[in-house]
Amino acid sequence: MGLFDFFSKKKKEQLNEGLEMTKKSVFSKITKAIAGKSKVDDEVLDNLEEILVTSDVGVTTTLKIIERIEARVARDKYLGADELNSILKEEIAALLSENDSDSISGFDFPKMEVPYVIMVVGVNGVGKTTTIGKLAYQFKMAGKSVLLGAADTFRAAAVDQLTIWSERVDVPLISQGMGADPASVAYDTLKSAVANKADVVIIDTAGRLHNKINLMNELTKIKNVMKKIIPEAPQEILLILDASTGQNAIEQAKQFTAATEVNALALTKLDGTAKGGVVIGISDQFKIPVKYIGIGEKKEDLQLFDKFEFVDSLFSQE
């Protein structure tokens, strides 16, 4: 499968639309920074620092990127401004991790022996339930049988919200209502998935701040309970990050990974003005790939993340 197969023309337009704000602001600044200059000097690097920091890339990662560029400038002496874009793309893309070979890389994947279980985690309000609805839709469109588990039994009307999504994209849902034990819901969902030979199971969990130890322990328990039914489950633990979140996302990634061994990221709300630059540092530091991006509220507004497309959309000149 080619790199750009996921992006049909329509999807590409959607992505570009979603990233338009990011691109406009970043690119206009870069252009301004290098206008009338034939080589990368301190002023350009200063401007670059501003661009990256204001994109939420963070000071540490920004310095890392700048160091790499400076090293190249030192090596290639008279680096033209035109080359800056391609170098930036390369350097940033190099920081973004690849999917590991164990996890699926698209919505259409070969039939597996056991259901592929995705456990969705994240802080409050990042868009977990909405992302699940959109994921379910994509898997269903790819001809997979999908089962949802409503293990957010805490937030008011969370089960209702997932129920509406399950009806909207026409996939079944296992629920024990509000206030039920989330681990028990996950257990039931997997049991039913095995019995019905489902291809994909997606487990919703309640939003929780990563510094609440009890709630993080609960998450570990939900994860462990699933192994009683399917030893390798959950094959994917998907941490949802809101693109508008700043440097705290790093702490989120750290704590959720400690509690549940997160192995995939989804970046939501990329259709706004937020740039989501913090994922670059996260992906680099924790070696977790970004797998999906959310670019709207409709069921089709979810795409597979492709780092070259992503970086390209950030810096491409149109």
Instruction: Give the nearer residue to another protein in terms of CB position, either 13 or 50.
Output: 50
| Phi, then psi, of 36 in degrees rounded to 5 | 75, 10
> What interhelical angle do 307-315 and 9-34 show, nearest 10?
50
Q: Is there a contact between 52 and 95 (Cβ–Cβ < 8 Å)?
A: no
Minimum gap (Å) between residue 246 Cβ and another protein: 3
Bridge partners (DSSP) listed for residue 241: 267
**Binding flag, residue 258, another protein (CB under 8 A):** no
**Binding flag, residue 58, another protein (CB under 8 A):** yes
Among 249, 253, 267, 302, binds another protein (CB under 8 A): 249
Rounded (5°) CA angle 187-128-7: 110
In the structure encoding, which two tokens stand for residue 32, read together?
Answer: 């301004």
Instruction: Give the nearer residue to another protein in terms of CB position, either 158 or 311.
Output: 158
Give the contact letters, 18-57, x = binds to another protein (CB under 8 A), - = no.
---x----------------------------x--xxxx-
**Binding flag, residue 163, another protein (CB under 8 A):** yes
Among 123, 229, 238, 293, binds another protein (CB under 8 A): 123
Q: Which DSSP string do the residues of 284-305 spell out, in sequence order?
A: HHH---EEEEE-SSSTT-EEE-
Q: Is there a contact between 239 and 248 (Cβ–Cβ < 8 Å)?
A: no
| Phi, then psi, of 17 in degrees rounded to 5 | -60, -50
Among 164, 172, 176, 180, binds another protein (CB under 8 A): 164
Question: By CB under 8 A, what part of segment 260-289 binds another protein?
Answer: 269, 271-275, 278
**Binding flag, residue 59, another protein (CB under 8 A):** yes
3-state secondary structure of 241: strand
Residues near another protein (CB under 8 A) are 21, 50, 53-56, 58-59, 123-127, 133, 154-158, 160-161, 163-165, 168, 178, 209-214, 242-249, 251, 269, 271-275, 278, 297
